[in-house]
Structure 1
Amino acid sequence: MTAHFGRRLRKGAATTAVAAAAVAALSASQAPAVTGNDRPTAAGQTTPDGSTDHSATGDSPYYTDLPPLSSPLPSPSDSQSPSIGTPVSVGEAEAGIPATILDAYKKAETELAASKPGCNLPWQLLAAIGKVESGQARGGQVDASGTTTSKILGPALDGNGFALIKDTDNGAYDGNSTYDQAVGPMQFIPSTWAWAGRDGNGDGKKDPNNIYDAALAAGHYLCRNDWNLSTDAGLRSAILSYNNSTDYLNTVLSWLEYYRKGTHSVPDGTGTLPSGRSDDNSGANPTPTATPSPSTTTPATSTPNPSPTPKPSTSPTTPASSTPTPTPTPTDTVAKLADAGTAKLAAMAGDAFSKKISTSAKTSAGKTVAKVRIRFTIVGDTDAMFTGGEKVAVVVTNASGVAVAPALQAGETTGDFTVRATLVGRAIAGLDYTASVTPRVADTLARTGTTALTCTPGGEFADQVEVKATYKGAVADKVGATATLIKAADDTTENDKGPYFKDADGKTIRTLTGLATDAGGLLKLPKLYADDTTGTFLLQITTTGGAILTVELTVAAATDTSSASPSPSASPSA
């Protein structure tokens, strides 16, 4: 994909003078901040395939300032920061990140280290993206909870100089019910936030205007598709997925390297604000703030045309040259989606699906189409996800015109769910795949001990029954089980006498349901008690999957061993 904007200007604060200008820009930026639109509109380009499924930001404009050439000089600890009014070098000023913003980045890194350790997300990457997307939320203009004091909105993505993304949230996030706009400090478009949004501050809401929510969402977004950000390939793929521009990639990498050399926190609202924008081709504000006065237009209209004769000869060709016949993109040629040999999708709860979904894009003539994007979406009441923990994955068709979705991972919810394949960029019929999650099962049950289970009438058994479940030789964890005291081996109805369990109220029960093995496949039953009936009794344990174990219980009167002792008078001499 080509760059989505015009010529990128590099306005890095490489000198103290430029740094001072950046600080001045912070004050100047407050006026547009009140209106809620800090990104000016300018010319750009739409995506080559006309797609309405874009990167996290919809490839919206971004700040192009580069970091200073000098390395930052961080304070001794994150909690220390230069006093307000204390002169600092350019490196120190640019390295300062508002305290709440920095805290959000570090908390997101900690959460991702636990939930997706293979991603190796550094918080400095979130800081680099936050710098490029919103200037660290306009220098830290957030309240105590991390929510921006006014909305940060990108331009309307109406196809006029930007990609065309029609409204997907009815204006809920961006206030625009016609077109989408990038929202918040990490600049998510509403259609992406709908599935990538996270609750980073634990308030029960997913708010793109909150830095804790937005930073955590950005981390999960960057870590999808099993990318390892400690590798060059993984890092570049993740950044380009956020905004598909080589210039954007290089700008983010520059800030990433800069922040890795050292940063420090500064009070919220005192961070520096970038000035260069990817949608600013002239260095001036491209959006006029007032209607031109008549006096400014009069000279242009009153000046005679010095060469009126040549213009009629060229005007007939102008309309034809301004509306050339567009070259169809690969996406334009796709007429239908077809299954490309997907096998039956089934997995046990907690397991990975062994088969993947394969979908081909085809023309009306049946020819496959390469290099188009297929979106796979998990729908239905399920906790299944794609590998990497996402519900949505976008895959580009290969040279054979086939897109293979990431592997599915079953959750604990059993039953059927749907994976829907749709073409990105054109409205054609989607393709649904049914996937099934079956309960965890065991095929073998065995007691962990060999001690005979005996008890006297009216007493309690000294040992509790413990069993271990396995499936194909491996531990069978979280497998459902039922334990019943039965009448006989050929009569598995519940017994009405003999040993019994007690419920929470101390009442007699002889059937236990809702049992499950633990992580080690073990199941330990509650204590058993005996009534006054003597004899041999049977306890039957069954599991999901058909494993059955019958345990023998004996209730007998205590044996009188006193007669077995020889009498004191009984001696050889007597």
Structure 2
Amino acid sequence: MAAATMAALTASQAPGADVDHRTDGPGTERADDARPDQAPGDDSYHTELPPLESPAPPRSSPDPSPSESGIPATLLAAYKQAARSLGTSDPACGLRWELLAAIGKVESGQARGGAVDKDGTTLKPILGPVLNGSGFARITDTDGGRLDGDKRFDRAVGPLQFIPSTWARWSADGNGDGRRDPANIHDASLAAARYLCAGERDLGSKTGLHRAVLSYNDSRAYLRTVLAWYDFYRKGTHKVPDGSGAVPTTPGAGGADDSGKGGGGSHGGSKPHKPGKGGGHEGGHGGDGGQGGGGGDQSPAPGTLKPVLAGELTAYTGGSFEERPRVRAAGKSGKALKGVRIEYTIKGATDARFTGGSAKATATTGADGTATAPVVEAGGTAGEFTITAKATGRDLTTTAMKATVKPKYTFARKPGGPLKAPVDAKFEDVEVTLAHEKEAAGDVPVTATVITEDGEENTKGPYFTDLFGNEDRSVTKSTGGLLGKKGVLELPAIHTDGHTGTFVLRLTTEDGSTYDIDLTVTE
């Protein structure tokens, strides 16, 4: 059952097969989703997924902490107290503490495995990337550098990654000490709880839960990752000592690659919202290793592993990566180490795999100290993931390489803007163009399916008709057609029945590229 659940959550589709990780399309708004400011963070987050097996309970052996179900004591208490507080002030919201724990895991690895003091404040600043418009949103300074130490641009702050401007509105005093500090897990947890429940959301419903998580970071992959941890924690957790929790190896604030440099100020953090690149969570997300605080033993290891790459690891959906992951093993003196067995592991929310379908592969270093992994197949889900390299049987540092799967095809719709039609009418002249590397893509089969807002199949709402006039909610057409223009997908009329509301027209190509169009049916 656990494997089936994880398979559903991580289904190959950007961003997911079981749920539509989008909420409203451009030009539409909902009262419960209205947010006058940016989301907490910056769209950078840890992409590790929980183990497929059920959480292990505490053991009598000396160190149960490596189990991913272990949550540092102070953080666990803060999450539970915040949920209780919201249950008293806003019982209709239905917030569970496991949701706060899931977001804390994805945002900062539970504050670097629980690296907090007795009051719950992070021992070192946890900061997201500088939001200067390079890879993330551009947010000029809003707090004079008080929270994030940067007087030019904002950065996401703290274990739940709030950008200063969002913290200014949603800040809370969770431990009753008279201060509101985004670097304090008690304050940040209560603020995040308030934010998630804003707009009279009902987190007990699937739709309400998804909208709440997406309001923190409007990313389908982010939603899928948070829901995976949420489901995992709901099956069982246990308390571990502060500072002994598992630390993420993927890039992001509070991970193993987070040196703790580049931060200053009291603490802070927020991420942009995509809220994506620039207005995200209550806090923010770091980018490719948000510079927050390090934690742990910083003494040099006897040897190192370092990536040896000619460029970025990128591929299109449905294809394979031209460059293979490769690392070099060296001793403390820098001399190449021969015969070291390297274990490569793919971690992330895409379905990229090494040739053969496995997420793990091994290689042995040669005389020059380098070991090259097998070819990586991109799969059908666009997004980012990491490939970690670890030496087995040797005390060498572990390293990680970021990889990106890009959609093979990009979509555009004419005309733009929301699509609306009354009941018992039609959506007509819906035209979509496909391009690959900016060139029109001809003769590409595209399947168009009408689904619910939650990404599920339905038997009501907008529909196509077959040759006999029967309702059909899925058709396949090719760009260009027999007489059409190259790269242009002309869809048949989409009829409406007597059901009102917002539906989704999902376009999917064989390689996994997807495009969603909101269809709103009015009275």
The higher relative CO (CA closer than 8 Å, separation ≥ 6) is in 2
* Structure number having the greater helix percentage: 1
Measured against the shorter chain, the TM-score band is 0.3 to 0.5
TM-score, normalising length: structure 2: 0.42
So what's the TM-score if we normalise by structure 1?
0.38
Work out which of the two has the higher radius of gyration on C-alpha atoms and give 1 or 2. 1
